[in-house]
Every structure is written in structure tokens, then in C-alpha cells.
Amino acid sequence: MIRSVFPTFLLVLVATFLSSCGPGSGDNKRDTATQKGILLFGNEAEPPSLDAHLITTIPGFRVVNALTEGLIAYHKSDDNIPEPGVAEKWTHSDNQYWTFHLRKNARWSNGDILTAHDFIYSFERALSPQLGARYAEMLFLIKNAEAFNKGELSNFSEVGVKAINDHTLTIELIGPIPYFLNLLKHPTWYPVHPSTIEKYGGMTKPDSNWTREEYVGNGPFILEEWTINKIISVRPNPMYWDSKTVRLNGIDFFPINDISTEDKIFNSGGLHYQNTIPSDLIPGYKKANDPYLRMEPWMASYYYQVNTEEPHLQDKRVRQALSLAINRRAIVKRIMKGDQAIALSVTPSGIAGYTPPQTESFNPKKARQLLAEAGYPNGTGFPKTNLVYNTSDQHKAVAESIQQMWYNILGIEVSIRNLEWKTFISARENKDYEIARSGWIGDYVYPDTFLTLWQSGNGNNTTGWSNPRYDQLINDSLVEANSERRLELLAEAEKILMDELPLIPLFYYNRIYRIDPTVKNWFPKISDSRNYKYIYLEAEGSN
Amino acid sequence: MIRLAPGGPFSDERKIAEHILEQQKEYYGYNDPIITQYFRTLGQHITLDLPPLTSHPGLTAADIITESFPTSLELGLYSIIIALLIGIPAGVLAAAKKNSWLDHIPMSLSMVGICMPTFVIGPLLAIVFGIWLNWTSVSGWEYPRDKALPSLTLGLFYAAYVARLTRGSMLEVINSDFIRTARAKGVSEVRTILVHALRGGIMPVISFLGPTLAGLVTGSFVVESIFQIPGIGRHFILAAVNRDHSLILSTVLLYAALIMLANLLVDILQVALDPKLRQQ
């Protein structure tokens, strides 16, 4: 009897000891954090950098948005509204010559006044070729910026930015850009604190350590702790010009790579915001009417790109046949399961009033007919084709499903192969593929973020496809002053793209995440970027 | 060898502009002839003047190891203690009571333990003890309630091996002449098993512990990912994924050094315990 009772007794003893060790005994971390006003944020992965000019990953963008503020900030609910940030007001002439009036009370977190000269310094840094900022091209809309970045121009004073005085900044663009204010929300446009940058090796040092040792920012929050693979904690910045609006007492960003682990942590009450949900769990949460679940449109596309240099894929009728033979609805319903919208264009609809022209949807009969016209009736003689994707269960399921559809409808055999991420990127860059999975998340809220990619010579266009008319339309759109006409030019270009199909759109990604109802002022946003100063936590039943 | 893998530290979904790529390659020394790079890297690791990392700008591998190794070391030590505390008694008991329920039950459980990988045990323990019972945390590495499940997950997995190894070698020793002599002399059964037999029976476990210890203290990618632990195990994998050549090299060198150290300790311990080895 004693023998059988002893292990149980021991277990209870250990459990009691463990439960009493550490915070959150009895209740969970989320409740405690809600009371303290700390937002617990699942942030996907460890950001390699928190330098506004050097970050390249979404987890990095999220943290930098809390620590730094640009001329224009993210609006709390509407991506099309420019929210005044450091710039209090602005004027423009023909959408090309812009003047920004900076707030006189804008300060750095160390108390220094933030001036227009700091912005000039920051633009020079972001564009300096030695720094190697990967997103420097976001600034190429400034007159002479591209030449400076490519080393063709060495005198920065010839670049179209000027500090008229401490609080007035002018920017001259290469042409009229009506959506310029939207672009300014991108971190490459954010300021960095000049004397801190100089202290840690100067403006051109690509691996300066200032972000880890002495983060001086100008955003609503300051960096309190950054431990690799563990946590990035930010706390309110008392020097922020609008600090009275900031309601959170902090945000703890957790770099959780494993999405199943993130799901468990959320379920155990360790997070307010769960960034990603394993797709096999989505139907269950939907069925159970999970109160935390959110599924919202996002500015991101999933597509297959085709190597048009392969002889049998050069004929556009073959590419059209491949597209027409895909039942996108089935893929979204049976594999993705997250209410994604099927994609018949590369640009998601609803961006800045743009309606993208669409390619034809699922039509097996026409698909077979086009393939026959191209010389492969019932798939006869069609060379064995390879489809590659980066390793992921979801990509695999989509690829297998499309492989089956092409075999059943067109009679063609396609082998599928998964590649490790960097090997996959390398295969795409070297055009060592025939058909490859691909996707794109818009950098800013305007359709050309999806369309400039496919111009000849763009490094991201690894399909080998090139169309002079397409290139011309995109170039014309970039200098078109009339907003409506600009969208028409883009639509005309996308119509060519959707007819020639160097890429086969499949669906638009949704943002599928879970969030605790105590998080307030969190709105669906197509950019999925927040202005954290408006977000706050309110426990159920409290006032 | 790591340079032969396709892709490089600067390749990503968004293609980096050619002139920026050149700049980055120049800065991190990728434009030099491969033989120059090899000897430079060798020199840097000998003098411990490590180069900047491409996956964590501003840091070197030394920074990463200093920050994450103590966590993995702690996790590894807890796991090995759990493995020995559970594995050795289970093995001894099973050998002493061969073919009884005290043998069958622990050995069946240990077979299940060996067959169940940590990525199955870990989430199972997390769901039961962390979510349903709310006795422990399911993530982090700060308080005892954070550390219980990861240590148990790794510990149980190795306990299974230790138990089977102990049982096997104990059975061999129990049937040997000197044990029969001890019994004949009237030494109590408990003393025979725990003092005379265990000393010889534990030798294979000690040999097994060498590389296991090195592996455990350099972190387990799976357990660190499941429980969101900021240890070094994740850097092993992510360094390779990111093609951060400097970090790959440094972590592998650390692992190699620990393997050698652990094997040396094992040899010393074996000599101390085994009179036959001492005579040689």
C-alpha cells in the first residue's frame, strides 16, 4: 500500500513545488501581463538586426515600428490614411516636390531634439553604397538617389533632399508619386540618431553594434532587453512627443520559430498574440468558434513561377493551359483551409482603389485545347517537368494536388521536389528549375509593389520572361501624375502579365492569427503593420 | 565543405541588388581566394579573434556561445541526472529480478521511451502538465517550473537507453564467477548487486555517457524549439540554414572540443573503476 501511494505523493509534491516556483502561479502569464499592461507578442523569429536601415525580415519590422517613427506613421486602422509622425504637416507640388514640417517637440530617446538634418544624415546613410542596405531601392524615388547608391554620384548634396532649417525638410522625387506618403512608412525612410551611429563606427559600418548596446530611437517605445532567441522587451519612451497617447506599459516580443510551440504557448496563456496557426488546426478552431481566431485579408500572393527559358514552357499557350487546369478553390478549401481568396492576378484587389485584371479561372476543356494547340494533345510528347518548392508540409500538399490536377486534366507528368530554403533560392536565382513555388508580400500599399518585380532586369524576375510593352507601361506609370491614369497603366500592364503568365497565381495569403480579446484598438489591416501607441489592454469586465 | 552547399549568406527571397551584394561580399571577405579565406578563418579561430557573423550583424560566434551555451549546459546536466537517476535503478532492478514484472515493466517502458522521439514526448508532456494540469510552464528557461518539462523530456529519452544498457551488462556480470563466489561466501544479495555487480555493470553506461554528455550540453535543437529555450542547439541548425559559415564552424568546433573532453573524462573514470584497466 505504502509502495503504491509513495509515487503519487512524490508527484504531487513535485507539482506543488513547480507550481509555486516562478510567476503566474495559479493563473497564467497572460492575465498577469494584462494587469501590468504588457503585450505578449509571438514574433515568429529572431530578427537579425533592429537597425531601421538594415532590417529585412517582418519580425524586425515589427519591433522597429515600436522603437522608431518616420515622417509618416501607420494609421491605427486604415492603411490608406497617412498618419502624421515626426512630420506635423506637409505640402507638395505636383506630387513631386514635397515639403515636410517637423514637430518642434520631436525628440530622440536620449533627449536630443530630432531635426531635419538628422533625416538628411539618415537618408545619406541608407543610400551609402558601403552600408549595403538591402532596401535602399525604396529611396530610389528621390532624385539622384539611385546614382548615389550605385556609386555613380559621390556628392550627396546632389541628391534631392534638403534641410531648409532645423524643422523643415524638402524632398524632390524623380517624378510625381501620388502614393509617396505611403512609402514613407517603410523603415528605410526612418531616421537614425547621428551621434550614436558615429559613436559605433560611423554611417557606413554595416555591422555596427549600436542597436544592441545603446539603442537611441524616436518611437513610442525604447528597447529594454534583447536576448537572442529569447525576448525583445520594449517599454514606453518618456521622450516620445506623443507619450500621453501610449497606453501599453510595454511589449515583449518572443521569437518563436516553431508554430506548434507557439500554439501551445498561446493555449497555456503565455501570449496575447499568436502570429501563426498550424494549418491543420485552423478547421478545428473555426468549427469551435474560437474567440481568439482572426482571418483577415493581407497584401500577399502565392503563385508558381515558370521558367520561360525552358523550350516547352516558352509557348504561352502551355502556361495558360497549366493555369486553366488548376482548381484553385479545391486547393484553398482542402489544403489551405483558412478562407483564402483564390488568385487570378498577382496583385490582391483592394489596394489603393486598384482592380487587377484577371486571368481565366479553372477550365479543363480549354486547358486541354490550348495544350493540344501547342503541340501536346492529351499531354503526348510533353517533356517530364520538374516542380520545386521550399520544404514545408503545406507547399508539399499544394504541389501534390497540382501535380495530380495536371496529370488528370492535361495528361502531363510533373515530378515534384522539395529543396532546403537557401538551395531553393539559389535554384530560382540560377533558373535551375522549370516551375517553382513563389510568393510576395507587398512592401507598401500600392499595386506596383507587385508589378515592378516582373520588369526586365529586375533581380526578382527569375522567370526569364521579358516584355517591352510591359516594361514601358510600368515605367510610364511611375511618372504619371494623374492617379487614375496611373492605375489604368498598371492594370494594362497586369493584363499582359495575366495573359502571358510567366507566373501562375494561386491564392492570396490571409493573415491568420489568434489574439486575446483583452487587446484593444487592434484592427484588421492589409499591411499587417500596427501603430503600437494606440493599442492597449483591458481585462474583461474592467473599466 | 560547408562552402559547397548551394546558396550563400546573402541570398534571400528578395534578391539583393548586385552592387550591394558585391559590397557585402567584400566587407565579409568573400571575394578573396578560397585558400586565403581558409587560412584567415583558421587563424581567427586559433587566436579566438572571431569574424563578424552574417546572420547576426554586430556579433561574433563568441557572443552567441557565451549567451546561449550556459543554458544548454544547464539543460544537459539536468537531463543527464534524470537519465541516470531513473535509468540505473531501473536497469539494476530489472537485472536483479530477471523475468519478473520488475523486469518486464521497466524494460517495456524503456523500449517505448527509445522509440518515442523527443518531439513526441515533449509536446505530450507540455499538453498534459503545462496546459491541462497547469503545473509547469510550456516555454522559457527562467524558473524551475520552466525547466521541469524540457529536462524531463530529454532525461526520459536517455533514461531508456541507460536502463537497457545497465540491465544488459548487469546480467552479464551477475552470471560471472566472482559474483557466484560472493554469494557463496554469504554476502547479502543487496550488497552483491549494488557493490560488486554494479561496479562492473555500469561500465558500458559510462562509455555511452561520453558522447551523450557532449551532445546534451551542446543543446538539443528539438527540445529547445519545443520549449522555446534560448540555448545553443538552435544555433547549430539555424547557422546552417542561414549559411553563416563562421557560426557553423565555431559551433562545430565547440562540439568537437566537448566530445574530446567528455571522452577523456570517461577514460579516466573507467580506469578508476575497473581494476583490469588499471593493471594494463
Asked whether the beta carbons of A159 and A129 are under 8 A apart, the reply is no
Q: Which string of DSSP letters, residue by residue, matches A28-74?
A: -HHHHHHHHTEEEEE-SS--S---TTT--SHHHHHHHHHH---SEE-
Listed residue (A135, A205, A126) closest to B52, CA to CA:
A205
Asked whether the beta carbons of A96 and A176 are under 8 A apart, the reply is yes
Contact assignment for B11 to A425 by CB distance below 8 Å: yes
Which residues in chain A touch residue B222, judged by CB atoms under 8 angstroms apart? none
What's the residue count for chain B?
A: 280
Q: What is the pLDDT along chain A (543 residues), one digit of tens a residue?
A: 333 334 444 444 454 444 444 444 445 889 999 999 999 999 999 999 999 999 988 999 999 999 999 999 999 999 989 999 999 999 999 899 999 999 999 999 999 999 999 999 999 999 999 999 989 999 999 999 999 999 999 999 999 999 999 999 999 999 998 889 999 999 999 999 999 999 999 999 998 999 999 999 999 999 999 999 999 999 999 999 999 999 999 999 999 988 999 999 999 999 999 999 998 899 999 999 999 999 999 999 999 999 999 999 999 999 999 999 999 999 999 999 888 999 999 999 888 889 999 999 999 999 999 999 999 999 999 999 999 999 988 999 999 999 999 999 999 999 999 999 989 999 999 999 999 999 999 988 899 999 999 999 888 999 999 999 999 999 999 888 888 999 999 999 999 999 999 999 999 999 999 999 999 999 999 999 999 999 999 987 654
- Mapped onto helix, strand or coil, the DSSP state of residue A498 is helix
**Nearest by CB: A229 against B7, B15, B234:** B234
**Nearest by CB: A22 against B143, B228, B230:** B143
Does residue B55 sit within a domain?
A: no
**B100: pLDDT strictly greater than 90:** no
On whether any CB of chain B is under 8 Å from the CB of A132, the answer is yes
Contact assignment for A19 to B145 by CB distance below 8 Å: yes
Contacts made by residues B27-30, CB under 8 angstroms, sequence distance 24+: B27/A130, B27/A132, B27/A206, B27/A207, B28/B52, B28/B54
pLDDT band at B4 (very low <50, low <70, confident <90, very high): confident
On whether any CB of chain A is under 8 Å from the CB of B144, the answer is yes
Q: Which string of DSSP letters, residue by residue, matches B33-78?
A: -HHHHHHHHHHHHHTT-PPBPSSSTT-BHHHHHHHHHHHHHHHHHH
- Mapped onto helix, strand or coil, the DSSP state of residue A228 is coil
Residues 6+ apart with CB under 8 A from A348: A297, A298, A299, A300, A301, A341, A356, A442, A450, A508, A526
Mutate to test the interface with B, among A21, A150, A302 (most CBs of B within 10 A): A21
Listed residue (B278, B232, B225, B237) closest to B258, CA to CA:
B232
Which residue blocks in B97-202 are alpha helix, DSSP H? 101-115, 118-125, 144-174, 177-184, 189-191, 198-201
**B146: pLDDT strictly greater than 50:** yes
- Choose the CATH number for A67-215 among 3.90.930.12, 3.60.15.10, 3.30.70.940, 3.90.76.10: 3.90.76.10
Give Cα B269 to chain centroid, integer Å. Answer: 19
Q: Can you name the residues that pair with A303 across neighbouring β-strands?
A: A438, A505
Q: Which residue is associated with the grid cell 544488459?
A: B168
Give Cα A321 to chain centroid, integer Å. Answer: 31
- Topology annotation, domain A2-46+233-295+511-537: D-Maltodextrin-Binding Protein; domain 2 (3.40.190)
- The mean pLDDT of chain B is 85
On whether any CB of chain A is under 8 Å from the CB of B230, the answer is yes
Burial class (CB in 10 A: 0-12, 13-18, 19+), B115: exposed
Closest A-chain CA to B16: A134
According to the 3-state scheme, what is the secondary structure of A419-447?
ECHHHHHHHHHCCCCCEEEEEEECCCCCC
Strands A414-419 and A231-236: unpaired
Asked whether the beta carbons of B251 and B235 are under 8 A apart, the reply is yes
Rounded to whole angstroms, the Cα distance separating A222 from A236 reads: 6
Q: Which residue is associated with the grid cell 524586425?
A: A60
Number of domains in chain B: 1
Rounded to whole angstroms, the Cα distance separating B18 from B30 reads: 14
- C-alpha triplet A472, A473, A477: angle, nearest 5°: 115
Contact assignment for A49 to B59 by CB distance below 8 Å: no
Mutate to test the interface with A, among B4, B23, B67, B101 (most CBs of A within 10 A): B23
Give the domain ranges of chain A: 2-46+233-295+511-537, 67-215, 297-510
Residues of chain A numbered 235-294 and touching chain B (CB < 8 Å): 254, 256-258, 260-261, 264-265, 267-268, 270
Residue A530 DSSP class: -
> In this predicted model, which residue has the larger pLDDT, B2 or A338?
A338
Residue B4 exposure: Cα atoms within 13 Å on the Cβ side: 1
pLDDT band at B280 (very low <50, low <70, confident <90, very high): low
Q: Can you name the residues that pair with A274 across neighbouring β-strands?
A: A514
Rounded to whole angstroms, the Cα distance separating A73 from A100 reads: 13
On whether any CB of chain B is under 8 Å from the CB of A56, the answer is yes
Which residues in chain A touch residue B134, judged by CB atoms under 8 angstroms apart? 19, 28, 268
Q: Which residue is associated with the grid cell 486541354?
A: A368
Domain A297-510 sits in CATH 3.20.20.70: no
A–B interface: beta-carbon pairs under 8 A: 156
State how far the alpha carbon of A401 is from the alpha carbons of A394, A396, B133, in Å.
11, 8, 40
**B31: pLDDT strictly greater than 80:** yes
Phi, psi for A434 (deg, rounded to 5) = -110, -50
Listed residue (A377, A372, A378, A418) closest to A398, CA to CA:
A418
A350 phi-psi bin (left φ>0, alpha ψ -120 to 50, beta other): left
Asked whether the beta carbons of B139 and A260 are under 8 A apart, the reply is no
Strands A435-441 and A385-390: parallel
Does residue B75 sit within a domain?
A: yes
Contact assignment for A23 to B143 by CB distance below 8 Å: yes
Residue A25 has a pLDDT of: 42
- C-alpha triplet A479, A526, A361: angle, nearest 5°: 85
Residues 6+ apart with CB under 8 A from B82: B151, B152, B154, B155, B156, B158, B159
Q: Which residues form the domain of B177? A: 70-279
pLDDT band at B278 (very low <50, low <70, confident <90, very high): low
Asked whether the beta carbons of A311 and A328 are under 8 A apart, the reply is no
Phi, psi for B26 (deg, rounded to 5) = -65, -45
- C-alpha triplet B109, B114, B119: angle, nearest 5°: 110
Residue A160 has a pLDDT of: 96
- Mapped onto helix, strand or coil, the DSSP state of residue A220 is coil
To the nearest whole Å, the CA of B158 is away from the closest chain A CA by: 21
Residues 6+ apart with CB under 8 A from A32: A23, A24
According to the 3-state scheme, what is the secondary structure of A271-322?
CCEECCCCHHHHHHHHHCCCCCEEEEEEEEEEEEEECCCCHHHCCHHHHHHH
To the nearest whole Å, the CA of B184 is away from the closest chain A CA by: 31
pTM, two decimal places: 0.89
Residues 6+ apart with CB under 8 A from A203: A121, A124, A125, A128, A131, A194, A197
Asked whether the beta carbons of A347 and A302 are under 8 A apart, the reply is no
Residue A24's CB: how many other CB atoms inside 10 A? Answer: 19
Residue B178's CB: how many other CB atoms inside 10 A? Answer: 12
| Helix, strand, coil fractions of chain B, as percent rounded to 5 | 75, 0, 25
pLDDT in tens, A83-132: 999 999 999 998 999 999 999 999 999 999 999 999 999 999 999 999 99
On whether any CB of chain A is under 8 Å from the CB of B55, the answer is yes
For the domain that residue B184 is a member of, what is the CATH number? Answer: 1.10.3720.10
On whether any CB of chain A is under 8 Å from the CB of B228, the answer is yes
Phi, psi for A480 (deg, rounded to 5) = -80, 125
On whether any CB of chain A is under 8 Å from the CB of B177, the answer is no
According to the 3-state scheme, what is the secondary structure of A134-203?
CCHHHHCCECCHHHHHCCCCCCHHHCCEEEEECCEEEEEECCCCCCHHHHCCCHHHCCCCHHHHHHCCCC
